[in-house]
Structure 1
């Protein structure tokens, strides 16, 4: 793998949130396929650990919102997670859609030449362990590939875990607020990017982050005015639900 740096940045500007935003059940293979049908070449997903230590895709700590399961997703072994329906909550067309493993999504992306942003989304209390296992898993799956995935997390301990087991895979710190020392924390963790709530970016913050040698990405951008503001500010990446609104070919 080539080192990902500010000067060498292979990722496209437009990133499909959880596969295809809200057009398909999030974090399912159906969603990533739909995002690809809209022309997207980079996707964002959420990864956490099953009870038997396998990275799988789920945003919430609990299962109720996006599956027919109950309780904490990380409390179930992979075999039980695989039995869940992760599509019916969205629409009948997706009934029976499975909860994917990170490996299943990785193989889809690698086979098709797609890029991936893996948000490490630990079950509370499992931050470092989740980062370590996701790092190990991604290092194995992307071995020999020209472009690695991009890790991101709101949890510094999760990024530290990934750094310990896959230091060559680039990391980004997610921020929903600008807390004291956040940029210094990102630098300490060797992050190549900051991923902010899009409303946080202004010209001064963009200049500060770029001056520290990091790229500037935003979530979750669903309005044209917000996207145009971020493009005008010179930011580098936009994560969106609106794969039906924004053309990923837009520079």
Structure 2
């Protein structure tokens, strides 16, 4: 990694955790309000290939719309209400473009873990598009974003498109015994894993191999303290206030 590691131990999951609508500008603002210096969020492609923030393959859960995100244009997606599902206080909060969130993070001094979240069948094109967008959006920034994904194909495409951007492989159960081979193949700087998979021995192995280690989604203070004691570099959390109080 050509830059210093930019992430503190606490990273706000999907922007505002449980305290603001996920993957929205309001979420990023909540992270700042809570004293966070780093956020994680999901980026995918609209039907007309614009990078925007959304976790699911459909818009049903977190907006007032319905259907597959991959079939909808940015013009249509940008009109959806992505806040009312959490509380009416966030009514009419829009789905944000990647560019909007990048600009806010620059202004607010937030480090970004950008999760590449491709719709099924769009792994390679999404990885490439997000990497190229990130390269442009952070062109004048010293600290670059960390690109992560469960979709290994997306990371391969992202690294091929923009080799200089740091990346992390996201994993879930079962623990992959070939994790080091996979990380080396994409010149990754970090392994991002489900916290439930971590043992002290696994943490030691990853750290001894020279990689950073981030854990999701950690909402229990004692578990967070245990992971920190083992050497985990950072955790993604939904409990912004609780964790900030525990670690401040």
State the TM-score, normalizing by the size of structure 2.
0.96
Aligned twin of 2:159: 163
Superposition RMSD in Å: 1.4
Mapped pair 1:240 → 2:237:
yes
Per-residue deviation, 1:209: 1.0
Q: Distance in 2 between matches of 1:199 and 1:58?
A: 24
Mapped pair 1:208 → 2:208:
no
Residue of structure 2 aligned with 1:104, choices 96, 100, 106 = 100
CA contact (8 A) 1:13 1:248 kept: no
Match runs of 1:122-133 below 5 Å: 122-133=118-129
Per-residue deviation, 1:180: 4.2
Deviates more, 1:120-129 or 1:178-187: 178-187
CA contact (8 A) 1:39 1:248 kept: no
Deviations 1:187-234 (A, max 9, x none): 211110001111111121112112222101100000111101101101
Q: Distance in 2 between matches of 1:144 and 1:187?
A: 28
Q: Secondary structure of the equivalent of 1:213?
A: coil
Per-residue deviation, 1:10: 2.3
Mapped pair 1:21 → 2:20:
no
Moved over 4 A (4+): none
Per-residue deviation, 1:144: 2.4
CA contact (8 A) 2:23 2:54 kept: yes
CA contact (8 A) 2:15 2:28 kept: yes
Per-residue deviation, 1:248: 7.8
Which consecutive residues of structure 2, in runs of 5 or more, have no partner in the other structure? none
Per-residue deviation, 1:52: 0.6
Cα pair distance change 1:22/1:51, threshold 3 Å: same
Mapped pair 1:71 → 2:70:
no
Q: Secondary structure of the equivalent of 1:117?
A: strand
CA contact (8 A) 1:40 1:248 kept: no
Residue of structure 1 aligned with 2:133, choices 122, 134, 137 = 137
Aligned twin of 1:3: 2
Per-residue deviation, 1:87: 0.7
CA contact (8 A) 2:207 2:231 kept: no
Deviates more, 1:43-52 or 1:173-182: 173-182
Which consecutive residues of structure 1, in runs of 5 or more, have no partner in the other structure? none
Residue of structure 1 aligned with 2:180, choices 175, 178, 183 = 183
Q: Distance in 2 between matches of 1:248 and 1:56?
A: 32
Deviates more, 1:106-115 or 1:177-186: 177-186
State the TM-score, normalizing by the size of structure 1.
0.95
Q: Secondary structure of the equivalent of 1:245?
A: helix
Q: Secondary structure of the equivalent of 1:235?
A: coil
